[in-house]
Amino acid sequence: MTKLSPLKRGVVVFLILGVLTAIEYYLGVNDVPTILLWAIAIIKLLLVLQYFMHINRVINPNKGGHE
């Protein structure tokens, strides 16, 4: 994922989030165990934190898109 350009990475993450949301919806309307919905939500949350919010920039201040 890190080898992709930022724009392509955004597209890939968005597609993964979309698929996960569709799965989440399907599972939710079919009364599956709640733990599965939690698992999907946490995966989505981690993806956004890592690839959209760039949480690494806080941990490592030298990283970042601008000087």
Partner 1 sequence: MSSINNAIVSYQQKLAINRLGLWLFFASDAFMFGGLLVARFYLLGNKNLNLDQTLGLLVTSILLISSFFMNRAEVMVSEGNHKGFITSLVITILLGISFLVGVVGLEWGSAHFGPGDGAEGAVFYMMTGMHAFHVLTGIIFLSLVLRNGLNKKYTPEKHYAVEASANYWHFVDVVWIIYYPVLYLMGTI
Note the residues at the interface with partner 1 (CB under 8 A): 6-7, 10-11, 13-14, 17-18, 21, 24-25, 27-29, 31, 34, 37-38, 40-41, 44-45, 48-49, 51-55, 57-58, 61-62, 64-67
Alpha helices of 1-67 — where are they, by DSSP H?
6-29, 34-47, 56-59
Minimum CB–partner distance for residue 30 and partner 1 (Å): 10
Residues 6 or more apart in contact with residue 31 via CB below 8 angstroms? none
Minimum CB–partner distance for residue 51 and partner 1 (Å): 8
Q: Give residue for tokens 């079919």.
A: 30
